[in-house]
């Protein structure tokens, strides 16, 4: 068969938000080295595959560079090929490239080597549902690569993504990453492959696009950990007292690729090398009196401070970062813009819940992903809101293109900001579905802000406040 692989690149055009000029923080930073918490977790000591703290690893993807992924459609006799097998994933391919360009702030570039024609695999698709663990998956991957090797030129290819037709018997997908799940590279005639990814039928829809699965699994190729509880972990339940999927679910790609937020948090970006030291303000608890700083949202490429890290010990810190909605989030979810405050504990590793968002209350938000995607913590602070963590109070004093945050060892009180309006297209309501255990340091201060959706013709606005009301001429969406 003629080798028909075509190398293409998709431009990642991400427009920076139009932001006002950066305001210098009102307090100085401790030496940033003080916040480089070293990881001492059981998983890190056991296999050194994934990290939750310094130093980072680079056994698979390094922190920067241009990487080529092969994408190959395959089918079985009892799972026929589509007439245009890659048509339904073209947008996923482009979004995947854009996503990593933004998360890494331009340090990571991907390009696709494309096989346009679907390749017939031997046997029946029943093998997709009969695999038991990584050993079976590795053997399956080697059989597939042996079948396609004569048709695809893998020169310069680092990893491979296979695409099945809709309706396969595989649900969750198959993924192999070196050295996390395979101890040696997958061989082709042109050289070894580091990663193998194949999405199942759980993905491939508006709520769970295939690109989010590729991004999560290849996030492990950058040595990023799972932020949810792994069933094998002896510490996740006993130490953190959380059931899977864990408290960071809903706020990070590595906690749940289904969203609603698919950002990668600033702590992991910094450890990975995707954030500069100049974007970090490092403080220690002994530094505190009363301080204020302006944060640039994580999801922009603008310069400025993107996180305040407060060191509490050699393995524990509080991280404060600004969040905004992006095209990568679950678009029909209810996620306010605001400030995320979370604890990092580098004595805990992959699958041991090393990060916990600090909440004002025990309320949960509704995740409209369905029964298989549970509710997530309503963790964002918005203008005027306060939370307490141990001896520190954190308050959002102003919010616009950026968020201004005040951090104090003295008590801070909540305030009611003026009603603000934000363009939006869709939203869902919030409700209290139950409670989950929280940290003693987090405390609810006053009544929670709410959001409503107001309409005037084709104009739709979201109004936030303690008692939000629609502006004159607008009607509240029922």
pLDDT at 170: 92
Residue 79, H or E segment: none
pTM of this structure: 0.82
Distance of CA 88 to the CA centre of its chain: 23
Sign of CA dihedral 439, 440, 442, 443: positive
CA distance 134 to 131: 8
Find where tokens 């405050």 sit. Answer: 341
CA distance 219 to 57: 12
Tens of pLDDT along 6-64? 444 433 333 333 333 333 444 445 699 999 999 999 999 999 999 999 999 999 999 99
Above 80 in pLDDT, residue 3? no
Q: What is the CA radius of gyration of the chain?
A: 23
pLDDT at 21: 38
Which DSSP state fits 468?
-
Taking alpha carbons only, the member of 154, 203, 195 closest to residue 176 is: 195
Angle at 279 (CA atoms; ends 275, 284), nearest 5 degrees: 110
Cβ(194)–Cβ(185) below 8 Å: yes
Taking alpha carbons only, the member of 107, 202, 222 closest to residue 159 is: 222
**132: how many CB neighbours lie within 10 A of its CB?**
7
**112: how many CB neighbours lie within 10 A of its CB?**
23
Burial tier of 345 (Cβ tally within 10 Å: 0-12, 13-18, 19+)? buried
Token duo for residue 97: 């490239």
Of the chain, the end-to-end C-alpha distance in Å amounts to 59
pLDDT at 312: 96
Cβ(100)–Cβ(78) below 8 Å: no
Tens of pLDDT along 335-389? 568 999 999 999 999 998 899 999 876 555 554 444 456 677 778 999 999 999 9
CA distance 417 to 420: 8
pLDDT at 283: 96
Cβ(383)–Cβ(394) below 8 Å: no
Q: pLDDT above 90 covers what percent of the chain?
A: 63
pLDDT at 417: 75
Find where tokens 């407060």 sit. Answer: 310
Tens of pLDDT along 108-161? 999 999 999 999 999 999 999 888 888 999 999 999 999 999 999 999 999 999
| pLDDT-wise least confident of 74-78, 110-114, 312-316, 439-443 | 439-443
Range list of β-strands (E), 178-252: 186-188, 191-193, 195-198
Q: Averaged over 307-335, what is the pLDDT?
A: 88
pLDDT at 126: 93
Find where tokens 């009363």 sit. Answer: 290
pLDDT at 378: 78
């Amino acid at each position: 068969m003629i080798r028909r692989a075509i190398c293409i690149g998709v431009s990642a055009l991400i427009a920076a938000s139009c932001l006002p000029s950066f305001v210098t923080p009102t307090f100085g930073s401790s030496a940033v080295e003080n916040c480089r918490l070293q990881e001492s977790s059981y998983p890190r000591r056991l296999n050194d595959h994934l990290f939750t703290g310094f130093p980072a690893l680079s056994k698979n993807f390094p922190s920067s560079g241009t990487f080529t992924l092969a994408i190959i459609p395959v089918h079985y006799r009892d799972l026929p090929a589509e007439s245009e097998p890659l048509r339904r994933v073209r947008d996923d391919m482009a979004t995947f490239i854009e996503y990593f360009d933004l998360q890494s702030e331009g340090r990571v570039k991907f390009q696709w080597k494309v096989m346009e024609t679907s390749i017939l695999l031997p046997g029946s698709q029943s093998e997709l549902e009969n695999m038991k663990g990584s050993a079976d998956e590795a053997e399956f991957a080697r059989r597939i690569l042996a079948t396609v090797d004569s048709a695809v030129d893998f020169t310069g290819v680092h990893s491979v993504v296979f695409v099945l037709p809709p309706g396969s018997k595989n649900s969750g997908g198959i993924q192999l990453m070196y050295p996390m799940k395979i101890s040696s590279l997958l061989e082709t005639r042109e050289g070894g492959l580091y990663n193998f990814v194949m999405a199942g039928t759980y993905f491939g829809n508006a709520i769970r696009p295939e690109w989010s699965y590729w991004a999560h699994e290849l996030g492990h190729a950058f040595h990023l950990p799972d932020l949810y509880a792994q069933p094998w972990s002896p510490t996740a339940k006993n130490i953190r007292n959380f059931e899977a999927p864990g408290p960071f679910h809903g706020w990070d790609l590595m906690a749940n690729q289904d969203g609603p937020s698919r950002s990668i948090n600033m702590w992991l970006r910094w450890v990975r090398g995707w954030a500069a030291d100049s974007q970090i303000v490092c403080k220690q608890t002994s530094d505190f009196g009363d301080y204020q700083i302006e944060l640039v949202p994580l999801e922009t490429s603008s310069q400025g401070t993107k996180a305040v890290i407060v060191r509490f010990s050699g393995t524990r810190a509080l991280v404060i970062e600004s969040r905004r909605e992006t095209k990568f989030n679950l678009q029909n979810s209810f996620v306010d813009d605001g400030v995320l405050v979370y604890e990092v504990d580098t004595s805990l590793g992959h699958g041991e819940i090393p990060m916990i968002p600090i909440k004002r209350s025990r309320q949960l938000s509704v995740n409209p992903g369905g029964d298989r995607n549970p509710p997530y913590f309503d963790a964002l602070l918005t203008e005027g809101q306060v939370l307490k963590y141990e001896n520190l109070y954190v308050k959002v004093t102003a919010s616009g293109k950026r968020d201004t945050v005040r951090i104090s060892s003295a008590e801070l009180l909540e305030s009611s900001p003026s009603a603000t309006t934000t363009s939006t297209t869709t939203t869902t309501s919030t409700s209290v579905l139950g409670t989950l255990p929280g940290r003693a340091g987090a405390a609810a201060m006053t009544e929670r802000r709410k959001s409503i959706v107001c309409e005037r013709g084709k104009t739709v606005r979201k109004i936030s406040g303690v008692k939000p009301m629609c502006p004159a001429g607008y009607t509240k969406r029922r």
